[in-house]
Structure 1
Amino acid sequence: MRPPSRAAAFTQAAWPVCAVAVLAIALWYLLTATVYQGKGYLVPAPQEVAAAVAENAGVLALATLTTLKEATLGYLLAIVGGIGLAALMSQSRLLERSIYPYAVLLQTVPVVAIAPLIVLWFGYNDLSVVIISFIMSLFPIVNNTLLGLRSTSRNLTELFALHTTSRFTSFAKLQLPGALPHIIAGLRISAGLSVIGAIVGEFIIGSGNAQGGLGVQIVFAQGRMYTALLFAEVIAATLLGFLFFMVVSGIGRLLLKNWHESAIGKG
């Protein structure tokens, strides 16, 4: 039996998502036509949100691109820092015992609590937002990468040691490839967190930035009680996080599809 084509596989995967979206919009419309009729300041109708998008398309596009840039920079820094830190800890139990508790501590401190300090130290600018996004998305990458590097089979490690004396070669050709599924899992988690971190940073910046990203525009819309635009910006932020997640998931499937059972047959 021939496997389904890519188009058929995509359709099979996409139709349940589209069906739920259509049902959600229909329910939303029904609620605004009954329970929330005449209360657009609380829950605007879908057509009101669409009108707000059309009216503010330029501002929305620029804000989305700004948040995308900040989240991408924070995410890339988290990838480099997280994988690098985990690689160091995987080579020394002493380093792991010394550094890992602080990585956990950084994860447990509420970002909203430290964001004002970051803004105070670095100013009301994009750098502060990037740093907050970095902090938000760092720990899952560190944790999953370290878990993957520590999960290398002892038998394979001993077998590899018989053929090479280089620790770097063993790391590059055995530990790192074997940890790739764990690393990608961490990257997928952090993809959405980087967007959340960027928007939290923009919330803190508020009116300190004339244009700003989606977080800044959400604050503006809330202050003006422009609920339809507020809904549009929340939807844009959600779709941006979803896009990040899907891009990273797609790259992960490409890297794993030829050898790891989690991605084989998924295209």
Structure 2
Amino acid sequence: MTPPNFSATAVLKALRDAVPVMAVALILLGLWYLLTATLYKDKGFLVPAPQQVLVALADNSATLLAATLTTLGEAACGYLLAIVLGIAAAALMAQSRLLERSLYPYAVLLQTVPVIAIAPLIVLWSGYNERSVVIISLIMSLFPIINNTLLGLRSTSHNLVELFALHNPSRWVVFRKLRLPAALPNIIAGMRISAGLSVVGAIVGEFIIGSGNSQGGLGVQIVFAQGRMNTALLFGEVIAATLLGFMFFLLVSRLGHLLLRHWHESAKA
């Protein structure tokens, strides 16, 4: 009898949480329609009406689906690499202050150097292919994971560290059983930030690297839609890219909730 009650409660809670989001979406959609019906009437080449965007999406659904899957694969590869390399780099820097002072400035450079400035080098080394896009996605999404993970590893309670020290554990045991679990909320926070950045990086990489024809990810499709002055399709592709990044964020948030819900205050709340 408990599962049905729990299921009904979960459905009601999901509906309750969705109502404000849907209300804001409807308001924005109404404002968009009102804008195209008044200020931008007969100017669909500047701001198309919502129904025009829907028609453009329906007419190009196959191409958009293929492009979305391409960008999804590139962003996912860059994001997973960023998670692995970011956590590994932060774990290494957390071992000593000397390592942190030596390596952390180079991690900051990943955030401060414009991707456009180093894109020619990436293309020169890797070529005009999806691998270059993955590298750009990796670069854009790596720093938040390094920074937040390092912060979490450095913020472990001293009382717990001293308690562990009473049993004379190895450094690996302390890291695996104490520091890494304690840093998990910070790691999830960094992953949330990087989730959207990985998609942005993939699309920026497609902008920079481009393609020799109309095939490619969402970034390539956006460039071709802009070149054809197909504003309705351009709007649809931007919406698709936005929803893709939002999907990444929701998946990471859900994963974080599952990992933290039984012991961390943020997930309990």
- In the superposition, the TM-score normalised over structure 1's length comes to 0.96
**Distance of 2:225 and 2:120 partners within structure 1:** 21
Q: Does 1:186 align with 2:190?
A: yes
Gapped regions of structure 1 (runs ≥ 5): none
One-letter amino acid of the counterpart of residue 80, structure 1? V
2:168 counterpart (164, 171, 175): 164
How many residues matched?
Answer: 264
**Distance of 2:255 and 2:41 partners within structure 1:** 45
What is the Cα deviation at residue 207 of structure 1? 3.0
1:200 counterpart (191, 197, 204): 204
Q: Does 1:133 align with 2:137?
A: yes
2:32 counterpart (28, 34, 44): 28
What is the Cα deviation at residue 140 of structure 1? 0.2
**Distance of 2:261 and 2:89 partners within structure 1:** 27
One-letter amino acid of the counterpart of residue 189, structure 1? I
Structure-2 change in CA distance of 1:104 and 1:209 (3 Å): farther
Contact 2:68 2:218 survives alignment (8 Å): yes
Match of 1:56 in 2: 60
**Distance of 2:40 and 2:25 partners within structure 1:** 20
**Distance of 1:125 and 1:25 partners within structure 2:** 37
Gapped regions of structure 2 (runs ≥ 5): none
Secondary structure of 1:211 counterpart:
coil
Moved more, 110-119 or 182-191: 110-119
**Distance of 1:115 and 1:27 partners within structure 2:** 38
Secondary structure of 1:242 counterpart:
helix
Q: Does 1:85 align with 2:85?
A: no
Residue correspondence of structure 1 range 1-267 to structure 2 within 5 A: 5-208=9-212, 210-264=214-268
**Distance of 1:217 and 1:120 partners within structure 2:** 23
Percent identical across equivalent pairs? Answer: 72
CA offset digits 1:82-102 (Å, max 9, x no partner): 000000000111111110000
**Distance of 2:234 and 2:175 partners within structure 1:** 48
Moved more, 4-13 or 143-152: 4-13
**Distance of 1:238 and 1:112 partners within structure 2:** 21
What is the Cα deviation at residue 210 of structure 1? 4.8
Contact 1:118 1:128 survives alignment (8 Å): yes
What is the Cα deviation at residue 116 of structure 1? 2.7
Structure-2 change in CA distance of 1:152 and 1:242 (3 Å): same
Contact 1:82 1:141 survives alignment (8 Å): yes
CA offset digits 1:103-161 (Å, max 9, x no partner): 00111111122223212221110000000000000000000000000001111101101
One-letter amino acid of the counterpart of residue 133, structure 1? S
Moved more, 253-262 or 116-125: 116-125
Cα RMSD of the aligned pairs, angstroms, is: 1.3
Secondary structure of 2:39 counterpart:
coil
Contact 1:74 1:133 survives alignment (8 Å): yes
CA offset digits 1:194-241 (Å, max 9, x no partner): 000000000012233651100000000000000000000000000000
Contact 2:214 2:224 survives alignment (8 Å): no
CA offset digits 1:10-35 (Å, max 9, x no partner): 11211111111111111111111110
- In the superposition, the TM-score normalised over structure 2's length comes to 0.95
**Distance of 1:69 and 1:209 partners within structure 2:** 19
Contact 1:124 1:208 survives alignment (8 Å): no
